[in-house]
Structure 1
Amino acid sequence: MSSTVASEPFERRQATDAEKRALASALRLRILRMCLDEALTNREIAEVLDKNPATILHHVRTLVDTGYLQALEPRRGRRGAREIPYRTTGKSWYTYSEDSAAPMLEAFLAEVATLPETQRGMTRLGLRLPPEEMEEFRRRLFELLQEFHDRPRDVDAEPWSLFLALHPDTSQRRRP
């Protein structure tokens, strides 16, 4: 039988200055992704990312202070040490910042670089739609993403990630 985890509801809004700073790091975005379905300790995160635990702890604390990660009940780790597991709150889906594009892309590239080519499903699409159809496309795309985001998470299912970027096509000549 599969288990599910539901995200806590948050209202979609512009990130505060502290939240913008928290989301302005590709490393912190990767930590959020790692702690989405499994609570991980600082040491476990550091091992996966091949980083110094002190560096990771700084980033974890920033995410906890801004509400993107939550500390769970301490547990005994290796050799009986007290360790605190952290879990993503889901808040990052509901806060946005104009400054998050570069770190988001950097996190995506770091994650996808570890995969074999056969596991990278990528495509590009050029669109030429009138403004009202472009707005409809954006709205329907977001509604589809929101629908799947809102479904209960099956923590036993294989995890997948989606990166989506929509931007004016700079490779095409602009008409006057």
Structure 2
Amino acid sequence: MTDAEQSSADQKRPVANAREIKALAHPLRLRILRLCGLHELTNKQLADRLGQDPGTVLYHVRQLLSTGFLEPAGVRTGESGALEKPYRSTGRSWKLDTALGEAGPAGPLAPLEAFREELTEAGPDALASLSRFVLHLSEEDAEDLITRIHAVLSEYTDSDRQRLDQPAYGGIFVLHRTSD
């Protein structure tokens, strides 16, 4: 990757501030973001889908609204004829460089916990691909790998709205040092 491409990639992924890091450091908030990235959902729909109390979900929705990760969608008429206020993901969460370690000991594991819950909910037949690997990398090699994978993921996430008629896939990329 050239210096210009790297600079462009860095500009697309601004560093998250403390409030944003805190908002992204909770598995339930990450699950809300994923669900609202797929569908415009009300607080009650989110609570039902996640098996949570509506008050708890509303607290987390408000955290995501205040940081710009969620936004209100247009008011609509629900099945019972009542007006509903759904939410949708703004997509901002996927464009930030987050240092979840700054959110405390559970911060870095929140995305993994949310992903584990999503996989469990989807069932074993939902898994499309799994790659488990160990690589020996210099710091520069690791950074290059991360940058290249983020570039591919960004290519797809940036154009995702063009494929809303296709099935939705979830995924996570994690690169960590081994304890050995």
TM-score normalised to structure 2 length: 0.81
Equivalent position of 2:27 in the other structure: 26
Q: Give the percent of matched residue pairs that are identical in Structure 1 and Structure 2.
A: 36
Equivalent position of 1:134 in the other structure: 142
Q: How many Å apart are 1:169 and its aligned residue?
A: 2.0
| Structure 2 letter corresponding to 1:77 | G
Alignment of 1:105-120 (within 5 A): 105-120=112-127
Q: Which runs of 4+ in 1 moved over 3 A?
A: 129-135
Deviations 1:68-113 (A, max 9, x none): 0000221222433221010100110122322242111110111111
Q: How many Å apart are 1:65 and its aligned residue?
A: 1.2
Alignment of 1:94-113 (within 5 A): 94-99=95-100, 100-113=107-120
Q: How many Å apart are 1:126 and its aligned residue?
A: 0.8
The alignment status of 1:83 with 2:91, answered yes or no, reads no
Structure 1 regions of 5+ residues with no counterpart?
Answer: 1-9
Structure scoring higher RCO (CA < 8 A, sep ≥ 6) equals 1
Secondary structure in 2 aligned to 1:123?
A: coil
Secondary structure in 2 aligned to 1:125?
A: coil
Measure, in 1, the Cα distance between the counterparts of 2:26 and 2:171: 18
CA RMSD of aligned residues (A): 1.8
Aligned residues: 162
Q: How many Å apart are 1:130 and its aligned residue?
A: 4.0
Measure, in 1, the Cα distance between the counterparts of 2:144 and 2:112: 25
Structure 2 regions of 5+ residues with no counterpart?
Answer: 1-10, 101-106
